[in-house]
Amino acid sequence: MTLQKCTETKQAFNALVKIEKELSIEKAIVESPLIVAQGKKKSVVSEIIIIIEFFLNVTGKELEEYQIQILAGDLYEKFKTDALEDIVLMFKMARQGEFGKVYKCDTFEIMDWSNRYLESKSATRERLLKKKKEPRTEVKAGKYFSELPKELQEKFATMVSPKKDFLPRKAVDALTREKMHRELDKKIKKEK
């Protein structure tokens, strides 16, 4: 997302409205580049300032110019391993009352919204990861070799060539020990 190309405030706000319509947390996770990868801090912070000004303009809230600049720097630090779209989504969710009614608008409140947003994003990311893992765990675990999928039976056949006297190593060791004990018992009985 680049808002730098918009020279007028109205154009930037119109671009934000279009971006907001298509955004979701899932899209931000999958498709959006990280803030750190979008250029120098100064240019990214100026885009964050535009996002903040858009939110303030839409909600009728006010912050001093220096507060906006400091808040933009704080948001850059908070979201630098996320995307600019995440900041847009956070302000959209706040505007829509997802973090509670917006009675006041100060840096502390906005940073609290960012924490809540990042928690929500984390839960969404976990859900997406879980969804990705589910198809892999669908392999039916059969009780018998014949109930396994044909692919696994063939894979097993190539790994182990079946023999007539195929026994696990532990079983062979146990039988060897048993045989040794019997032979020792026989020798002891003969000596007595």
- Would you list the DSSP string of 54-98? HHHHHHT----HHHHHHHHHHHHHHHTTS-HHHHHHHHHHHHTTB
Gap between the Cα atoms of 100 and 31, Å rounded: 28
Q: What is the residue-level pLDDT of the chain in tens, covering all 192 positions?
A: 555 544 567 788 888 787 888 878 888 888 877 777 777 888 889 889 999 998 898 888 889 999 999 999 999 999 988 888 999 999 999 988 888 888 888 889 999 999 999 999 999 989 888 888 765 545 555 567 777 788 877 887 777 655 555 667 787 788 888 888 888 888 888 887
Q: State residue 119's pLDDT score.
A: 93
Q: How many CB atoms lie within 10 A of CB 82?
A: 21
At which residue do the structure tokens 């730098």 appear? 4
How far is CA 15 from each of CA 47, 86, 94, 121, rounded to the nearest angstrom? 12, 15, 19, 23
Give me the amino acid identity at 126.
E
Pairwise CA distance, residues 90 & 21, whole Å? 13
Structure tokens at 165: 């006297």
CB contact set of 61 (below 8 Å; sequence gap of 6+):
55, 102, 104, 105
Instruction: Decide: 76 and 82 in contact? Cβ < 8 Å.
Output: no
Place of tokens 């696994």: 152
Q: Count CA within 13 A, CB hemisphere, residue 41.
A: 11
pTM of the model: 0.61
Cα(71)–Cα(78) distance, integer angstroms: 10
> Which residues lie below 8 Å from residue 4, measured CB to CB, with a gap of 6+?
43, 46, 47
Q: What pLDDT score was predicted for residue 160?
A: 64
